[in-house]
Amino acid sequence: MSTPMNKLLIAVAAVAFLGVAPPAGAAEAPEVPEQDWSFSGMFGTFERGALRRGLQVYREVCASCHSLSLIAFRNLGDVGFSPDEIQAIAEEYEVEDGPDDEGEMFMRPAKASDRFVPPFANEQAARASNNGALPPDLSLMIKARKNGANYLYGLLIGYVEEAPEDVEMMEGMYYNKVFPGHQIAMAPPLFEEAVEYADGTEATLDQEAHDVVTFLAWAAQPELEERKRLGVKVLLFLIVLTAMLYAVKRKIWSDVH
Amino acid sequence: MANTVSTSPEHSGEGETRRDFLLIATSTVGVIGTALAVWPFIDSMNPAADTLALATTGVDISAIEDGQRITVVWRGKPVFIDHRTAAVIEAAESVPMEDLPDPEPDSARAEKPEWLVVVGVCTHLGCIPLGQKPSDPRGEFGGWFCPCHGSHYDTSGRIRKGPAPANLPVPPYEFVDDSTISIG
Amino acid sequence: MEAKTWKNPVIAWIDDRLPVFSMMQAELVDYPTPKNLNYWWNFGSLAGIVLVIMIATGIMLAMQYTAHVDYAFESVERIMRDVNYGWLLRYLHTNGGSMFFIVVYIHFFRGMYYGSYRAPRELLWIIGVFILLAMMATSFMGYVLPWGQMSFWGATVITNLFSAIPLVGEAIVTWLWGGFSVDNPTLNRFFALHYLLPFIIFALVFVHLWALHVKKSNNPLGIDVKGPQDTLPFTPYYTIKDTFGLGVFMIVYLAFVFFAPDFFGEPDNYIKANPMQTPPHIVPEWYFLPYYAILRAITFDIWFVSAKLIGVILMFASILILLFLPWLDRSPVRSAKFRPIYKQLFWVFFADCIILGVVGGNAPEGAWVPIGQAATFYYFAHFLIIIPLLGKFEKTRTPPTSISAAVTHGGIGTKVKEAAE
Give CA–CA dist A38/A50, Å, rounded: 9
Q: Name the pTM for this structure.
A: 0.89
Q: What is the pLDDT of residues A204-233, one digit of tens each?
A: 999 999 999 999 999 999 999 999 999 999
Å from A10 to nearest chain C CA? Answer: 9
- In whole angstroms, how far apart are CA A162 and each of A131, A166, A183, C6, C384? 21, 11, 12, 87, 60
- Is the model's pLDDT at A20 over the cut of 90? no
Q: Quote the strand ranges of C215-332, DSSP E.
A: 231-233
Residue B17 is predicted with a pLDDT of 74
Contact partners for chain A, using 3 or more CB pairs closer than 8 A, are B, C
Contact A248 B53 (CB under 8 A): no
> Is A74 within 8 Å of B54 when comparing Cβ atoms?
no
Domain count, chain A: 1
* Helix (H) or strand (E) run with residue C34 in it: strand C32-34
SS3 A135: coil
- Percentage helix, strand, coil, to 5, in chain A? 45, 5, 50
Chain A contact residues (CB < 8 Å to B): 72, 74, 101, 112-113, 237-238, 240-241, 244-245, 247-248, 251-252, 254-256
Q: Please say if the pLDDT value at position A235 is more than 90.
A: yes
The larger pLDDT score, comparing residue A29 to residue C250, is at C250
Question: For position A163, what pLDDT does the model report?
Answer: 85
Residue A201 within a domain: yes
- For residue A255, give the chain B residue with the closest CA: B5
**CA dist., res. A110 & res. A95, Å (int):** 6
Q: Bigger pLDDT: A165 or C213?
A: C213
Amino acid identity for residue C274 in this structure:
N
Average pLDDT value for residue range A173-202: 93
One-letter identity of residue A139:
S
List chains adjacent to chain C, taking adjacency as at least 3 C-beta pairs closer than 8 Å.
Answer: A, B
**Cβ-defined contact of C365 to A248 (cutoff 8 Å):** no
Whose CA is closest to C307, among C384, C373, C374, C367? C373
Partners of C91 on chain A (C-beta within 8 Å) are: 227
Arithmetic mean of pLDDT, C230-246 = 96
What residues of A are in contact with residue B17 (Cβ under 8 Å)?
none
Query: How confident is the model at residue B15, as a pLDDT?
Result: 59
Mean pLDDT for the stretch of residues A180-188:
92
Q: Kindly report the CATH number that applies to the domain delimited by B51-183.
A: 2.102.10.10
Give the closest-approach CA distance of C345 to chain A in angstroms.
11
pLDDT band at A257 (very low <50, low <70, confident <90, very high): low
Q: What pLDDT is attached to residue A1?
A: 38
Mean pLDDT, chain A, integer:
88
Which of A74, A101, A245 is nearest residue B53 as measured by Cβ atoms? A74
The CA–CA distances, whole Å, from A197 to A52, A187, A209, A213 equal 9, 22, 13, 16
Q: What is the ipTM of this complex?
A: 0.91
Q: State the helix-helix crossing angle for A148-156 and A205-220, rounded to 10 degrees.
A: 150
Strands (DSSP E) contained in chain B are 57-60, 69-74, 77-83, 115-119, 142-146, 151-154, 159-161, 173-177, 180-183
Q: Where are the domains of chain B?
A: 8-46, 51-183
Chain A closest CA to C168's CA: distance in Å? 36
A240 vs B contacts (CB less than 8 Å): 29
Three-state SS at B80: strand
User: Does pLDDT of C279 surpass 70?
Assistant: yes
- Chain A and chain B share a number of CB contacts under 8 A equal to 40
Q: Which residues of A touch B22 (CB under 8 A)?
A: 244, 247-248, 251
CB neighbours of residue B58 within 10 Å: 13
* 3-class SS of residue B58: strand
Which residue among C350, C354, C366 places its CB closest to the CB of A23?
C366
The answer, for C83 touching chain B at a CB cutoff of 8 Å, is yes
| Residue C245 φ/ψ, nearest 5 degrees | -60, -40
Q: What single string gives the DSSP state of each residue in C185-206?
A: HHHHHHHHHHHHHHHHHHHHHH
Residue of B nearest to C407 (CA): B2
Output the pLDDT for position B13.
52
Q: Which residues of C393-412 are buried (b: 16+ CB within 10 A; e: fewer)?
A: ebebeebbebbbbbbeeeeb
Task: Provide the percentage of residues in chain A whose pLDDT is more than 70.
Answer: 88
CA separation for the pair A118, A66 (Å, rounded): 7
Residue C217 has pLDDT above 80, yes or no: yes
CB contact under 8 A, B33 and A113: no
Residue A242 and residue C77: Cβ atoms within 8 Å? no
Output the CA torsion A182→A184→A188→A190 (10° steps): -90
Q: pLDDT class for C236, splitting at 50, 70, 90? A: very high
Distance of CA C173 to the CA centre of its chain: 26
CA atoms within 13 A of residue B3's CA, in its CB half-sphere? 12
Residue-level length of chain A: 257
Using CA atoms, how far apart are residues C18 and A123, in angstroms rounded to an integer?
Answer: 64
- Which residues are within 8 A (CB) of C306 and not within 5 positions of it... i.e. 6 or more apart? C164
Q: A244: which chain B residues are within 8 Å (Cβ-Cβ)?
A: 22, 25-26, 29
Are C352 and A15 within 8 A, CB to CB? no
Determine the pLDDT at residue A124: 93
Q: Domain residues for A146?
A: 30-71+115-249
The pLDDT value recorded for residue B179 is 86
Task: Say if residues C357 and C293 touch (Cβ distance below 8 Å).
Answer: yes
Min CA distance, B22 vs chain A (Å)? Answer: 6
- d(Cα B144, Cα A115) in Å, to the nearest integer? 39
The CATH number of whichever domain residue A242 belongs to comes to 1.10.760.10
Say yes or no to pLDDT of B126 above 80.
Answer: yes
pLDDT at site A25? 38
Q: Give the C-alpha separation, C258 to B178, whole Å.
A: 51
> pLDDT grade, residue C209 (50/70/90)?
very high
Q: Which of B11, B83, B124, B149 is catalytic?
A: B149
DSSP A163: -
In sequence order, the 6+-apart residues with CB closer than 8 A to the CB of B97 are B103, B105
Range name among A22-26, A179-183, C37-41 with the lowest pLDDT average: A22-26
Locate the chain C residue with the closest alpha carbon to A241: C247
Q: Is C175 left (phi over 0), alpha (psi -120 to 50) or beta?
A: alpha
At residue A114, the 3 state secondary structure works out as: coil
Q: How confident is the model at residue A6 (pLDDT cuts 50, 70, 90)?
A: low
pLDDT digits (tens, 9 = 90+) for A62-75: 999 999 999 999 99
Inform me whether the pLDDT recorded for B111 exceeds 60. Answer: yes
- Cα-based distances in Å from A233 to A221, B36, B38, C33, C84: 20, 12, 16, 36, 18
For residues C307 and C300, the answer to whether their CB atoms sit within 8 Å is: yes
Burial of C48 (0-12, 13-18, 19+ CB in 10 A): middle
Closest chain A residue to the Cα of C88, Cα to Cα? A227
- Name the β-bridge partners of B81: B70, B117
Decide if A136 contacts A130 (C-beta within 8 A): no
CA distances from C330 to B176, C218, C347, C383 (A): 86, 17, 19, 12
- Mean pLDDT of all residues in A158-175: 89
CB-CB: which of C35, C80, C362 is closest to A26?
Answer: C362
| Mean pLDDT rounded to a whole number for chain C | 94
Give the best residue of C52, C79, C85, C87 to mutate against chain B (max B CB count within 10 A).
Answer: C85
Which positions ≥6 away from A66 have C-beta within 8 Å?
A58, A119, A135, A136, A137, A138
Predicted confidence at residue B59, as pLDDT, reads: 87
Read off the pLDDT of each residue in C248-253 and give the average, rounded to a whole number. Answer: 98
pLDDT digits (tens, 9 = 90+) for C133-179: 999 999 999 999 999 999 999 999 999 999 999 999 999 999 999 99
What pLDDT is attached to residue C303? 84
The answer to whether B54 contacts A113, with C-beta atoms less than 8 Å apart, is yes
Alpha-carbon distance of A214 to A208, in angstroms, equals 10
Residue A161 has pLDDT above 50, yes or no: yes
Average pLDDT over residues B87-92: 90
End-to-end CA distance of chain C: 34
Q: Is residue A106 part of a domain?
A: no
- Angstrom distances, CA of residue C382 to CA of B111, C158, C321: 84, 26, 11
Report the residue of A255, A256, A257 to disrupt the B interface, i.e. the one with the largest count of B CBs within 10 Å. Answer: A255
pLDDT in tens, C347-368: 999 999 999 999 999 988 899 9
Contact A235 C343 (CB under 8 A): no
Q: Which helix (H) or strand (E) holds C155?
A: helix C149-160
Residue C293 has pLDDT above 50, yes or no: yes
- Model confidence at A23, pLDDT cuts 50, 70, 90, reads very low
Residue B123 to residues B19, B118, B119, B145, B159: CA-CA distances in angstroms? Answer: 56, 12, 10, 12, 9
Asked if C84 and B2 come within 8 Å (Cβ–Cβ), the reply is no
Cβ of residue C56 closer than 8 Å to a chain B Cβ: yes
pLDDT at C256: 98
| Interacting residues of A169 by C-beta distance below 8 A, sequence separation 6+ | A163, A175, A183
Rounded to an integer, the average pLDDT of B78-101 is: 92
Q: pLDDT, tens digit, for every residue of C79-107?
A: 999 999 999 999 999 999 999 999 999 99
Distance CA C180, CA C186 (A): 10
Residue A24 has pLDDT above 90, yes or no: no
Residue of B10, B20, B26, B62 for testing the chain A interface, max A β-carbons within 10 Å: B26
Question: Across the interface, do C89 and B44 touch by the CB < 8 Å criterion?
Answer: yes
In C382-411, which residue ranges form alpha helices assigned H by DSSP?
A: 387-393, 403-408
Among B107, B134, B106, B115, CA closest to B61: B115
pLDDT tens per residue across span B50-87: 988 877 788 888 889 888 999 998 888 999 999 999 99
- Contacting residues for A65 by C-beta, under 8 A, at least 6 apart: A119, A126, A129, A130, A135, A186
Q: Which residues pair with B59 in a beta bridge?
A: B181
Asked whether residue A255 is domain-assigned, the answer is no
Burial B94-130 (b: 16+ CB within 10 A, else e): ebeeeebeeebebeebbeebebbbbbbbbbbeeebbb
**What are the residue ranges of helices labelled H in chain A?**
4-20, 48-60, 83-91, 123-129, 148-156, 205-220, 224-253
Mean pLDDT of C68-87: 97
Listed in sequence order, the DSSP H helices in chain B are 14-43, 49-53, 86-93
**Residue B32 CB: number of other CB atoms within 10 A?**
12
Give the pLDDT band of residue C411 (cuts 50, 70, 90). very low
A246 three-class SS: helix
Please classify residue C246 by burial: count the beta carbons closer than 10 Å to its beta carbon, then call 0-12 exposed, 13-18 middle and 19+ buried: buried
Is the residue at A195 inside a domain?
yes
Q: Output the pLDDT for position C407.
A: 72
Of the residues A246, A249, A252, the best mutation for testing chain C's interface (the one with the most C CB atoms within 10 Å of its CB) is: A249
Determine phi and psi for C94, rounding to 5 degrees. Answer: -70, -45
* Neighboring chain A residues of B68 at a CB cutoff of 8 Å: none
Q: Which pLDDT score is estimated for A99? A: 84
pLDDT at A82 over 90: yes
Q: Give the residue on A whose Cα is nearest the Cα of B63.
A: A101
Over residues C285-307, mean pLDDT: 92
